[in-house]
Amino acid sequence: MNIKDRLLEKLLISKGKPVSGEKLAHELSVSRAAVWKHIQALREDGYRIESSTHLGYSLVGSPGKLTPGEIRAGLKTKIIGKDIRYFEETESTNIIAREMAGRADEGTVVIAESQTGGRGRLGRKWISPEGGIWLSIIIKPKIQPSFAPRITLLAGVSVAKTIRSFGLQAKIKWPNDVLINGKKVCGILTEVGAEIDLIDYCIVGIGIDANVDTESFPDEIRDGSTSLKKELGHEIDRIGFVHKLLLEFEEIYVEFQKEGFHSILEEWRNMSATIGEWVKITTHAATIYGEAVGVDSEGALILETGEGKLEKIVAGNCEHLRRP
């Protein structure tokens, strides 16, 4: 983190109580003049910081941006979010993450207030205005590329648990969407860099319609979309949400590495919106209709077709056709 972010983190940690310029200068190993310069820069970013000659600086108002300083203060993770790259606007956090992944530490998070070229699966456009949460997590699990679908499912569980902790009944639609009341509130795009038999890095892109007005979305997706703000009836604290999300993700990811996928799969099944549904699956090769009866240990969807045959779907597009 740069000096400005570290300064912000210190003001946030002191929770409105004044911190002296001298103490800040000492802790950040910079001059008091440099502290003052960064305080001015934070004020320009929209932070309200009071200063008193005797007491020092106190933070009394924040613009609520997802800057590294805001996120680091109060983040309880050990790996995820240790390094945070922040953009007011970028093409796509997954693209940034992919370009830096080879040299980045595990747990690095790329976050943006808005994306100009946000993407969903298979190159589909993903609308990413201000107010949403658009982030990518770089992880480096020692797994084979064929195990990558598990990472998507694991990420879905972490998002659904986070949303549930805010009092909303989130469910997971196979393989990569999180729904509230049957409407999409989050998409997950997992990308891997790999040799033939070993993953080098994995990028988990998570896009959440947090404080977003889905009314402004294009016709074809408006009715199927919702936001946390809409479901709750008020804006959510995005910083608090990211704290919770990164912690949930880390806990599940650590469990995955230590204990394997078994109990995570159980959690996934319990929050599934897809199991029990009559679905239409479109793959590269075919379109298949059937009842989603389960998900196997690799994260593949198991369908029972009209003729009573079981089909295993590793990847594909899934539409829920009715709600039992």
Contacts of 281 (CB under 8 A, 6+ apart): 287, 288, 289, 290, 301, 303, 313, 316, 317, 318, 319
200 is an interface residue for a copy of itself by CB under 8 A: yes
Chain position carrying tokens 């007011």? 88
CB 100, CB 111: distance < 8 Å: no
Q: Which is nearer to a copy of itself, 33 or 196 (CB)?
A: 196
The single-letter DSSP state of residue 20 is -
By CB under 8 A, how many residues form the interface with a copy of itself? 29
Is 85 within 8 Å of 109 (Cβ atoms)?
Answer: yes
Distance CA 156, CA 6 (A): 31
- Give the integer Cα–Cα distance in Å for 15 and 215: 36
Residue 137 sits in the site that holds a copy of itself (CB under 8 A)? no
The verdict on 33 binding a copy of itself (CB under 8 A) reads: no
Binding track over 237-276 against a copy of itself, x by CB under 8 A: ----------------------------------------
* SS3 of residue 68 by DSSP: helix
First to last CA, the chain: 50
Pick the binder of a copy of itself from 41, 194, 232, 293 (CB under 8 A): 194
Which residue, 191 or 248, is less far from a copy of itself as judged by CB? 191
3-state SS, residue 88: strand
Rg (CA), the chain: 21
Residue 213 interacts with a copy of itself (CB under 8 A): yes or no: no
Contact criterion met (CB below 8 Å) for 24 and 10: yes
Is 135 near a copy of itself (CB under 8 A)?
Answer: no
Q: Which of 190, 211, 272, 274 binds a copy of itself (CB under 8 A)?
A: 190
Q: Check residue 286 for interaction with a copy of itself (CB under 8 A).
A: no
Beta strand pairing status for 177-180 and 287-295? unpaired
CB of 192 to a copy of itself, least distance (A): 6
* Binding status of residue 64 toward a copy of itself by CB under 8 A: no
**Residues 74, 129, 193, 276: which binds a copy of itself (CB under 8 A)?**
193
Say how far apart CA 319 and CA 197 lie, in whole Å.
31
**Does residue 121 belong to the site contacting a copy of itself (CB under 8 A)?**
yes
Kindly tell me which of 19 and 148 has the beta carbon lying closer to a copy of itself. 148
Q: Is 117 in the site for a copy of itself (CB under 8 A)?
A: no
Assess 87 for contact with a copy of itself (CB under 8 A): no
Point out which span in 13-21, 55-63, 98-106, 154-162 binds a copy of itself (CB under 8 A).
Answer: 98-106
Distance of CA 158 to the CA centre of its chain: 9
Is 300 one of the binding residues for a copy of itself (CB under 8 A)? no
Q: Does 198 bind a copy of itself (CB under 8 A)?
A: yes
Candidate segments 36-44, 67-75, 148-156, 230-238, binder of a copy of itself by CB under 8 A: 148-156
Residue recorded with tokens 């239409």 = 280
Residue with the two structure tokens 């064929």: 146
Helix (H) or strand (E) holding 289: strand 287-295
Q: Which stretch binds a copy of itself (CB under 8 A): 39-47, 156-164, 188-196, 246-254?
A: 188-196
Q: Which residues bind a copy of itself (CB under 8 A)?
A: 95, 98-99, 102, 121-122, 144-146, 148-149, 152, 175, 189-198, 200, 283-284, 314-316
